[in-house]
Each structure stands twice: as C-alpha cells, then as structure tokens.
Amino acid sequence: MKFKKNVAISETGFIFDPSTGDSYTLNPIGMELLNMIKQGIPFADINSAFTTKYDVDASSFERYYYDFVATLKQIQLVEDYE
Amino acid sequence: MSKQRITVALSGLNNIDSPGPGIPVIRGIKESELFEPRIVGLAYENLEPGAYMHNLVDKTYKVPYPSDGVDSLMNRIRYINTIEKIDVLIPNFDAELYAFMRSADLLKSMGINTFLPTLKQFEERHKANLPEFGEKYDVKVPFSKPIASAAEINNLNDELEFPYVVKGKFYDAYIANDKDQAKMYFHKIAAKWGLPIIIQEFVKGTEVNVVAIGDGKGNTIGAVPMRKQYITDKGKAWGGITLDDRSMLDLTHKIIGETHWRGGMELELIRTSKNELYLIEINPRLPAWVYLAVGAGQNLPEALVQLALGQEVKPYTKYDIGTMFIRYSYDMICGIKEFEKLSTLGEL
C-alpha cells in the first residue's frame, strides 16, 4: 500500500492531505497501526503483534484492520491498495 | 529602504457576513514592505463597517451607486481626488467594475491609476458567456444558459436535468430541485440583481478556488489555491486552507496566459470525483479571502498596487501550503456623531 505523496502525518496523530485540505486525527492505537502499515509489515505480523499486545481476537482484528484500510482508501490517503 | 508614500482609494468596505474584499485588500497593502499608504475608503452605505475601522481606513467618502450613472460617480471621484490626490484606485465590487473600466482613461487624466481587466476580458468571462469561454479556451465548464423570464424555465427540460443552479449575473446562487424552486429563485435573484438570470448545470464535487493576478501580458504574477473548509448559508467561506494542487495552478496559468488577464481574479472551480476541474465562475477582482494569500506569502494586493503604478513586479513562485484562515465577527462600538457625519456630510 502506497501512501499519497505529500501527506503529512504528525506524531500526535494529526494527518493533513495538502492536495485536498482535509485533515484527520488518529488515536495512539490508530497511529501504531498506521505506522506498521507504512513500514510495509505484512498483515499476519501486524495481526500477531496486535492480538498479543491488546485484548482483541484475531478475527475481530482482521475485520477492524480491513475496515481501517478501506477508510484510508476512501479518503484517498493511499494511492493503491489491493 | 524607505517606503513610497501613496494614497489608495478602495471600495468594498462592507466587511459583513457576505464580505466585500476591501478590508482584506487594505490589510495587504498596509503590510507592504514597499508602500506607506494613506487609505481612502469609498462607501456606498452608511453602515459599511470599514468606514468606522480607523486603524485601517484613514478617511471615508460616500459615493453614489454606479446605477445612478457613471457621470455622477466620476464627479464624486473628481471631488475626492482634489482633496486626497489619489494614486491608485481599486474597485472591489463586480457591479461597479464596468463603470470604472469605462472611465479608466478619465481617471488616468486625473492622475488616478487603476489596473483592471479590459472590457473584452470582463465581458467574455461573464457567467452568461461561460460556455463560449470554455470552448474558446478549452476549459471544462458546466452548461449554462441566460434567461430573461421565469417562463423560460418551462422550456429547459431538453437541455438540463434537475438539480441545477440558478445564478444572479453578479451575485447569489441557489440549487433548484424542481421548476417551482427554480422560478422562486429566479424572482428572488432578479429582484435583487436584475436580469438575466443564469441557469447552470449542477456539477457534483468539491468547490475549490484560486486567487490570482495577471499582468495583462499573459503572465501570472501570483496564484494561491484554496478550499473552503466552512461555508456559511450565503455560500461564503468562513474558513479555508491553501492547497498543494498543481492542476489548479496550471489551469490558472493557462487562463491568464491565453486571455492576457489584467488585474485580480478569482477562479471558482469544482473538482469532481473523477478529479476533473470544472470552471464555474471567474470573478474579475480579488476575492474577500485574498488575505489568505497574503498570509501564505503572496501579497497580491501589494502586487496589484505596483502594477497600477506601472512598476515591475516579480511573479510569486511559491506560497505556504496548509495556511488557514478563520473568519470572525466583531462588534465595534461607534458614537452616533460618526454615523451622523457620514450620513449627513458624506465624509468620515
């Protein structure tokens, strides 16, 4: 997944898309997930990390994960996504 | 470097909920590194807030509406000029531009400089002429048709589907979902701004805008794209943010390059979900949000004054992306004496 060029993501969880002027905020867990996706970590490893660290089962996390990724696509923060 | 002392006269002091550009233009000029301006306000109404903003406006004169005739407006300007010795005059209303463009030579003979679009430029970008403009300059525009009677709305079925936009020739626009609404808006706008009324295809997407200045030779002196973040019930921006959008700047350069646009302008655009840009309007003057451009690093009001004075202006090539403006209202307290002075003597 490739993030759109120029999108600014701050450590505080504030995301700014300068081409549309839209901005978003993420909570710390959302930021953690976003950073792992940005680093290109495979889904299986992210799933494993989250289910180990947080009180969430693998199937629920998978649902949340794809929901999150679909939202990134919908608000056009990512340029390609399979 | 010492600043050049100049006197600038401006209209558009109506800094109200649907604000004129006068006050933001003045702020830009007053922040200039080049000029030390005396600001002369030209007010059409006694309650235009700018007339009472003495930190920004040094002196205000009432002027007659252009609809009273160009001669009476120019006679008033002549009188004001005998007192103030105006160097540059910046009209900030669409409705008065025609009178000032027609009188540019007369103003020049009085020693007053302007930097306005030519009559041809002004006419061809008119809302009623937008389809021809789009075709001539190869710019995507929505289908538009000027109408002079509400009865014509009954005959638009073949050309347009609902919803469509009902627009005044200078200001106001409403989205109509059926014929009854369209007729209601027709009468509402016609009563305020006269005829024709423009019926325009509704293009779905995000409204984005560009403020720019052309030097009249095809060069873009400055351009800043913006998206409105908060829009009032009158369709005015209450907040906005500068964008990083090459396609909007390319379109601006193309339009200014091909029309040889002279003066300030605002492009009103719609970006569709397919990422296409439709031009829905060209306003032939700086918009009320021009101070955002100043804040983002392009002092376009200052550049406009320089151009009017015949000075060479180096084009701006950059601006700060992500600069925001948030408009606010503010209650000034004024003595009745001030109101009395402007109402009775026409000067404050």
- What is the distance in angstroms between the Cα of A21 and the nearest Cα belonging to chain B? 6
User: Mean pLDDT throughout B237-241?
Assistant: 93
* pLDDT for res B250: 96
Per residue in B168-204, pLDDT (tens digit) is 887 788 888 888 898 899 899 888 888 889 888 889 9
A21/B227 Cβ within 8 A: yes
For residue A73, pLDDT over 60 is answered with yes
pLDDT in tens, A12-41: 999 999 999 999 999 999 999 999 998 999
Instruction: Return the percentage of chain B with pLDDT > 90, whole number.
Output: 74
pLDDT of B146 reads 86
Give the per-residue pLDDT at A80.
63
List Cβ neighbours of A36 (8 Å cut-off, separation of 6 or more). Answer: A45, A46, A49
Q: Is pLDDT above 80 for A82?
A: no
DSSP for B23-72, written as a single string: HHHHHHHHT-SSEEEEEEEEESSTT-GGGG-TTT-SEEEE---GGG-HHH
3-state secondary structure of A59: helix
- Measured between beta carbons, which residues in chain B are less than 8 angstroms from residue A19? 243-245
Q: What is the arithmetic mean of pLDDT over B97-115?
A: 95
Q: Is B326 on the interface with A (CB under 8 A)?
A: no
How many beta-carbon contacts under 8 Å exist across A and B? Answer: 21
Give me the residue spans of the domains in chain B.
Answer: 4-114+331-345, 143-201
Residue A64: band (very low, low, confident or very high) from pLDDT cuts 50, 70, 90: very high
Q: Average pLDDT, whole number, for chain B?
A: 93
Percent of chain B clearing pLDDT 70 (strictly above)? 100
Residue B28's Cβ-side half-sphere holds a number of Cα atoms within 13 Å equal to: 28
Question: Which chain A residue has the Cα nearest residue B226?
Answer: A21
Q: Which fold has domain A2-80?
A: Arc Repressor Mutant, subunit A (1.10.10)
| Residues B242-297: tens digit of each pLDDT | 999 999 999 999 999 999 999 999 999 999 988 899 999 999 999 999 999 999 99
Q: 201-230 in B: which are within 8 Å (CB) of A? A: 206, 226-227, 229
Query: How many Å lie between the alpha carbon of B12 and the closest alpha carbon of chain A?
Result: 28
State residue B154's pLDDT score: 85
Average pLDDT over residues B58-81: 94
pLDDT bucket at B129, cuts 50 / 70 / 90: confident
Closest to A18 (Cβ–Cβ): which among B206, B240, B322? B322
B311–A contact, CB cutoff 8 A: no
CA B219 to chain A, closest CA, distance in angstroms equals: 24
Q: Do A18 and B321 touch (CB under 8 A)?
A: yes
CB proximity B245 to A under 8 Å: yes
pLDDT in the model for residue B249: 97
State both tokens at A56: 């969430």
CB–CB contact B322 A16 (8 Å)? yes
Between these two residues, B319 and B179, which has the higher pLDDT value?
A: B319
The per-residue pLDDT for A65 is 96
State the pLDDT at residue B4. Answer: 95
Cα B105 from Cα A29, distance rounded (Å): 66
Query: CATH fold of B143-201, please?
Result: Dna Ligase; domain 1 (3.30.1490)
Which overall architecture, per CATH, does domain B4-114+331-345 show? 3-Layer(aba) Sandwich (3.40)
Q: Would an 8 Å CB–CB cutoff place B231 in contact with chain A?
A: no
Among B208, B277, B292, B321, most A C-beta atoms within 10 A, so best to mutate, is B321
Task: Give me the mean pLDDT over the B47-56 stretch.
Answer: 96
Query: What angle, rounded to 10 degrees, do the helices at A43-53 and A58-74 form?
Result: 120
B217: Cβ–Cβ under 8 A, 6 or more apart, which residues?
B260
- What dihedral do alpha carbons A22, A27, A28, A29 form, nearest 10°? -110
| Complex ipTM over 0.85 | no
Is a pLDDT exceeding 90 seen at residue B77?
A: yes
A20 and B322 within 8 Å at the Cβ level: the answer is: no
How high is the pLDDT of residue B43?
97
Position A81 pLDDT exceeds 60: no
* CB of B248 less than 8 A from some CB of A: no
